[in-house]
Structure 1
Amino acid sequence: MMRNPVFSREMKVGSRSVRLPLIILLFNGILSLVTLLNMYSAVAQVRTTAAIQYSSFMNMYEFVTTIEFILLMFIVPAVTAASISGERERQTLELMLTTQMTASQVVFGKLMSALSTLLLLIVSSFPSVAMVFVYGGITWTDAVSLLLCYITVAFFAGSLGICFSALFKRSTISTVVTYGVLVAVVAGTYFINKFTLSLSAMNINNTAAAYGFGENAVKPTSGGFFYLLLLNPASTFLAILNGQAGGNTPLSKLKSSFGMTATNFVTENWVIVSILIQLALAALLIYIAVRCVEPVKRRRRGNKHK
């Protein structure tokens, strides 16, 4: 199989620069500091009370993995949002496309080089996350599911950044739009559910006042808007953590937060369904990015034959 030339170039340039080790140092430094501070707090509590509370170590695991998830979600767009638009600004994109490289090679090469960096961050951070294995409560299956969640959010956010980098000519605009859409997906789907839940509660209260029955007879719910959370990588991550922390079901906390009581195929397989939907959206975004780069390729070929 022929190796992607863009990927090879990006990996060589990245490995020779000081940027990659600096990112790894800062990323793992933050995680290690958080882990050690939580570990010190748990040990100090043991010395004071002479009792080991294993829930504190689980809380440490949840806190550290959440910090890593947030860092990944905000680092990936910064790496990919300027990948193609940066080539345009340096006036090197058209030079790349005058060669035998296709638009898909350019897009996939840029994306895979960014994801390989993020995969290196995930693997290098495993010792900090694995500290909880010393005290038990987390299995290797849980670690694999968490790793799958990290890879999914990296692929989804990276595809979002590469798509807007291909759509816009300026890196500043593509970065701002990428972060804006990512925040809209993560926070927007949550607040839409909160808003519909509030409307449902108001309607129930008004109906109860009009007909004189108890307000607790019907529970407020966000309804079908709850399934918008399938697009939200944070909801997938929270569902995985809830299942690892001993919840009744991985989705129990999310369902109770928005008044959902129905059980169906989607709610029973929430993590798998949400990951598949996010991967499908990522594939669509990559396709759009390739289509945005292809007209440049065709235009360069047309000028060459004139």
Structure 2
Amino acid sequence: MNLLKRLNNPVLFNEWKMRMRNRRSAWMLFFYLLVLGGITLTYIFLETEGGAYFNPNRTRELFMLLSILQLGMIFFVVPGLTAGVISGERERQTLNILLTTNVSATRLILGKWLASLSFMTFLVIATIPLYAIVFLYGGISPGQLFQVFVFYVVTMLGIGSVGVLLSTLIKRSGIATVLSYGIFFCYSIGTLILAEIIRELIQYYQRANNLPRTPVEWVDHMYSINPLFALLSIFGEGPANNMQLYPNSWLAQIDPFWLFSAFFGIVTLFSLLLSIYLIQPVRPRLFKAAAKE
């Protein structure tokens, strides 16, 4: 009974009702499926050259293309859904009212966070028939299909938590949204550039000291925190293939997918805890004393 009371989050249920009754949600779902479905069917049409035969060997490429497009849509939609959940309440001057109710800061943050991500989860689940069309041709294992959807959930949780944190820190929804897009764009590009720079520096050091040019496994693992390369690692593509060069290294035995999940899990937990702390009307004395010192 106590567990049911804890799970009863009025903020979450109210957000679900408001979001699902909105006409914009239905149109957003329609255009989301229209874009992904149109790209998938166009790819099949071009591969068959308008005929009736589709080479099953190209199914893997189509599945990877669809997965990357879905990942791009997540990065495009989730920041817009989450970066204004708290700042929007502040702009409508309803945040102080919510904080004076029986709803705790933890329930408020988790309710807003889960309500925003639930709509994106609904969009992802709605694309299952598209994946089923591709899956029927073969070339993809059920385990990879399941892993891809788990990857989407982990990515959405991480991006959404950062969006909620920015919405808590910044008073204007527009600024928080733009900053959220900027952070994840720089993160996606920056992790790739940083890994390439470190790789080049190591190779330069090896050449300068006449050392054998051997790859370093931890550098290859740096690509794992990049969402694109983490997704490609599920299909055995990208830098994940280099891990076969280190058969005796324990670090090389770590699956890039789990490394990415652990990293985004830490980001999610840190962002949510910080958001809950910042939004609390009365903060713990320990933190107040530390701030005064």
Task: Tell me, yes or no, whether TM beats 0.5.
Answer: yes
Aligned to 2:262: 276
Distance 1:155 1:136, change over 3 A: same
How far apart are 1:218 and its partner, in Å?
A: 2.6
- Find the partner of 1:236 among 230, 234, 237: 230
Output the amino acid matched with 2:33. Answer: N
1:45-76, CA deviations, whole angstroms, 9 ceiling, x for partnerless residues? 867xx8x6433222111111110111012211
Q: Is the 8 A contact 1:76 1:154 kept in 2?
A: yes
- Within 2, Cα distance between the matches of 1:85 and 1:4? 20
Output the amino acid matched with 1:162. Answer: V
How far apart are 1:91 and its partner, in Å?
A: 0.8
How far apart are 1:207 and its partner, in Å?
A: 4.0
1:159-211, CA deviations, whole angstroms, 9 ceiling, x for partnerless residues? 11011111111112211222222123221111001112222333344445xxx
- Within 1, Cα distance between the matches of 2:283 and 2:27? 35
Alignment of structure 1 residues 157-306 onto 2, 5 Å: 157-208=159-210, 218-219=212-213, 221=215, 224-242=218-236, 251-252=240-241, 263-265=249-251, 267-295=253-281
Distance 1:65 1:295, change over 3 A: same
- Find the partner of 1:16 among 12, 21, 25: 21
Q: Is the 8 A contact 2:246 2:252 kept in 1?
A: no
Alignment of structure 1 residues 139-158 onto 2, 5 Å: 139-158=141-160
1:23-47, CA deviations, whole angstroms, 9 ceiling, x for partnerless residues? 1112111110011001112222867
Q: Describe the SS at the equivalent of 1:236.
A: helix
Distance 1:266 1:163, change over 3 A: farther
Distance 1:96 1:89, change over 3 A: same
- Within 2, Cα distance between the matches of 1:117 and 1:95? 25
Q: Is the 8 A contact 1:82 1:165 kept in 2?
A: yes
Aligned to 1:100: 102
Output the amino acid matched with 1:21. Answer: A
Q: Is the 8 A contact 2:221 2:256 kept in 1?
A: no
- Within 1, Cα distance between the matches of 2:116 and 2:129? 22
How far apart are 1:98 and its partner, in Å?
A: 1.0
Unaligned runs of 5+ in 2: 285-293
How far apart are 1:221 and its partner, in Å?
A: 4.4
Aligned to 2:135: 133
Output the amino acid matched with 2:262. Answer: L
How far apart are 1:228 and its partner, in Å?
A: 3.6
- Within 1, Cα distance between the matches of 2:83 and 2:282? 19
- Find the partner of 1:6 among 11, 16, 22: 11
Distance 1:264 1:195, change over 3 A: same
Output the amino acid matched with 2:138. Answer: G
Distance 1:115 1:75, change over 3 A: same
TM-score by length of 1: 0.82
- Within 2, Cα distance between the matches of 1:266 and 1:252? 10
Q: Is the 8 A contact 1:152 1:275 kept in 2?
A: yes
Q: Describe the SS at the equivalent of 1:251.
A: helix
- Within 2, Cα distance between the matches of 1:12 and 1:232? 35
Q: Is the 8 A contact 1:156 1:282 kept in 2?
A: yes
1:193-240, CA deviations, whole angstroms, 9 ceiling, x for partnerless residues? 1112222333344445xxxxxxxx732646745444343332321111
Output the amino acid matched with 1:32. Answer: G
- Within 2, Cα distance between the matches of 1:266 and 1:166? 39
1:268-292, CA deviations, whole angstroms, 9 ceiling, x for partnerless residues? 3221232123112201111011011
Kindly report structure 1 stretches of 4+ aligned residues shifted beyond 6 Å.
259-262
Aligned to 1:212: none
Distance 1:273 1:14, change over 3 A: same
Aligned to 1:64: 66
Query: Cα RMSD (Å) of the superposition?
Result: 2.6
Aligned to 2:289: none
Q: Is the 8 A contact 1:83 1:165 kept in 2?
A: yes
Identity level (%): 24
- Within 1, Cα distance between the matches of 2:179 and 2:217? 29
Are residues 1:36 and 2:41 paired? Answer: yes
- Find the partner of 2:88 among 86, 89, 93: 86
